[in-house]
Structure 1
């Protein structure tokens, strides 16, 4: 009966289209009704305690920083710089999408923000160059997932909070898997362009590279400043998020002069809605996770998996399948907050490094964001560029298959994610 309430009821409500925060609250209330011995006065402590976290403050700040960069000219200059370097190659526009998404990921941890910033600049040129709506929409939706792996990553921050792991260590561990996804996407773009004889763009010249580099200098400095400050011990990830907001605002207002104080206020208000959605989910998921933990479900899951006597590779495959399915229906913050406390005891019992598992979980949920039929990135591209959903489903399938291949490689070769940690001591 307990399992039916905590796991069966959420699935039923999700199929009925109930918002995820409402599902978590409704299931939590049902759990409280079933367990009369649980003190009701603890509910408010758990809900507000879920939000009382210094690392959690990084999430709204990185969202705001990414939004300012997207509207204040930093993202556009970054895209122009990438284009000036890869121009003249068959598939250069597609490569620009991959490169820009990777670089934008080093400034903001929001996948949807990356899609908006990169897509608004490059979707129409891609279409006009002969790539077609299927490829253009698919590659923008698919490369937006790279943003989640390249630090600073909002899902990694949430996993660090939920699993009580070091956020900087997670950032370091995510670099190589994120770059692997970018390389695979770039190879696919080049193959597609050659196979379909996409016309080549104008060849780059040293003069154009110099001009674009000069214009993008402040944009290129942002990821160096943010990530370098974290790894250099100058500030924490949360402080880095605050620095990113101030940096983006000052550069957009006084150096590029593309954003007035009125525009900054409008951008802040727009970001506020997304921040609110995430924080409501965090509060509701905190209550749900507390109830699941107090009822002993994680311990029962560990015993169940131990009794199966499956080798670790099969259990990891089972986790991957489950996370991919969940990721295609549930947004990464909610999925991590619900599943990380549930899975982590079983993972540590198997001797799997929690940092490595954090990368596996993040990769699965990143891929889930553009997995048909309900991937969030798919709906973002559909809403922004009016690409029909059936067209988008076909467009994302090649990258979906390639990314799952990278996921399997990272899952079973933990050195890919952990080697950088050992290298940096």
Structure 2
């Protein structure tokens, strides 16, 4: 039965079947031929998997991300980061990384950040000496930071699948996200110095002041949302609703960059994306229930213990597997399917589940811009006009530097747990 649950979805995914149908096919076959249960159980499990109050945070944050990515917020953030980094070699590339990190702290949606920053920065990067391939690769790779920096939709889903505190996961993602941004910035500065890419400007206090004032309301959003969670004013789910309300007020009445029709269109786009995620949640929930009912997680724990695998080796294997899976599977599907299986094994070898959540998120963030099926590559392709092969070449240096960051995050758990243990 376990072989059917694994092989059938893999075969269907290989021929392009939608993820939720591939997952459901394995469950249906198992119920038909291996597990004597009534078909009604599948229906109850599908709907039961969605009957979770915390899941409301997902469409809320997606809607907030849509509002912010279509309201001109990205341009304001880029202006501010450029003003702060103008004297740094490769300042425009560093500003791309910084603006992406800020977008992540506002929306938590990688695809939204790539789309918004691609429209704003790709022409500037190309004209500034980066070349089309490197500019597209930088934008696609920078967007991966957004699912590590809180509020992160990937970490919300991990928290639900692994039954861990979403607030602690948000805190645990702050330092790893900043580390990735810092290492990417170092690489950009090195490339700029080596190839003579010019600075975008100098230090101008007046420009910094004006840019900060222009981006003030956007920058205040993560402070209020995350501060509200950690002060106990509202839960992560309620914070998602507040983020939507805040984004509408800022975009419509303060910046005046969106009409009510634009807000409705953003809501429709968010509803479509939320439906795509939640149907995968339902299918993955059914698969997880069946695996748990058949004792698969317990069998895996016993198998790992029999191998006497130490923590170092286990984490190395987890990274290798997740990097490969991230190349072909989106983070939502990978987290929902793998987290319930990996957490018991991780605990058995002494890995903190919060640390494992950060490791999984960073691995799958890298997968979002890794060939052949990284989502960010497809989004970048649509906004830049580059071919997939051009983007593949453009992202390669950034894959390397983020893998270095992943290894640091993996084998220095204090980077995740110093803040993650504080809540």
Q: Is TM-score (shorter-chain normalized) higher than 0.5?
A: yes
Q: Does 1:9 align with 2:8?
A: yes
CA shift for structure 1 position 171: 0.6
Please show how residues 172-251 of structure 1 align to structure 2 within 5 Å.
Answer: 172-251=171-250
Please identify, of 191-200 and 161-170, the stretch whose mean Cα deviation from structure 2 is larger: 191-200
Please identify, of 355-364 and 71-80, the stretch whose mean Cα deviation from structure 2 is larger: 71-80
CA shift for structure 1 position 330: 0.8
8 A Cα contact 1:169 1:355, kept in partner: yes
Mapped to 1, the partners of 2:174 and 2:263 lie a distance apart of: 31
CA shift for structure 1 position 185: 0.6
Give per-residue Cα distances to partners, 1:350-388, cap 9 Å, x unaligned.
Answer: 121111111111111111111111111111111221211
CA shift for structure 1 position 36: 3.9
- In structure 2, the residue matched to 1:111 is 110
Please show how residues 89-100 of structure 1 align to structure 2 within 5 Å.
Answer: 89-100=88-99
8 A Cα contact 1:75 1:219, kept in partner: no
- TM-score, structure 1 length as denominator? 0.97
Give per-residue Cα distances to partners, 1:299-319, cap 9 Å, x unaligned.
Answer: 221122122122221111111
Mapped to 2, the partners of 1:272 and 1:396 lie a distance apart of: 30
Mapped to 1, the partners of 2:8 and 2:384 lie a distance apart of: 35
- In structure 1, the residue matched to 2:87 is 88
Q: Does 1:343 align with 2:342?
A: yes
Mapped to 2, the partners of 1:229 and 1:387 lie a distance apart of: 41
Give per-residue Cα distances to partners, 1:206-238, cap 9 Å, x unaligned.
Answer: 111111111111111111111111111111111
Please show how residues 238-387 of structure 1 align to structure 2 within 5 Å.
Answer: 238-387=237-386
Mapped to 2, the partners of 1:76 and 1:34 lie a distance apart of: 56
Mapped to 2, the partners of 1:155 and 1:418 lie a distance apart of: 18
- In structure 2, the residue matched to 1:133 is 132
Please identify, of 177-186 and 3-12, the stretch whose mean Cα deviation from structure 2 is larger: 3-12
Give per-residue Cα distances to partners, 1:174-221, cap 9 Å, x unaligned.
Answer: 111111000001001111111111122222311111111111111111
- Partner SS state of residue 328, structure 1: helix
Mapped to 2, the partners of 1:18 and 1:63 lie a distance apart of: 24
Please provide the CA RMSD for this pair.
1.2
8 A Cα contact 2:114 2:140, kept in partner: yes
Q: Does 1:63 align with 2:35?
A: no
Mapped to 2, the partners of 1:354 and 1:409 lie a distance apart of: 17
CA shift for structure 1 position 96: 0.8
Mapped to 2, the partners of 1:39 and 1:354 lie a distance apart of: 34
Please identify, of 14-23 and 36-45, the stretch whose mean Cα deviation from structure 2 is larger: 36-45
8 A Cα contact 2:49 2:285, kept in partner: yes
Where structure 1 has 5 or more consecutive residues not aligned to the other structure, the ranges are: none
Mapped to 2, the partners of 1:335 and 1:193 lie a distance apart of: 36
- In structure 2, the residue matched to 1:166 is 165
CA shift for structure 1 position 89: 2.7
Mapped to 1, the partners of 2:176 and 2:358 lie a distance apart of: 8
CA shift for structure 1 position 35: 2.8
CA shift for structure 1 position 291: 1.1
CA shift for structure 1 position 298: 1.1
- In structure 2, the residue matched to 1:157 is 156
Q: 1:394 to 1:110 in 2, by over 3 A?
A: same
CA shift for structure 1 position 285: 0.8
8 A Cα contact 2:23 2:287, kept in partner: yes
Q: Does 1:72 align with 2:71?
A: yes
Please identify, of 14-23 and 195-204, the stretch whose mean Cα deviation from structure 2 is larger: 195-204
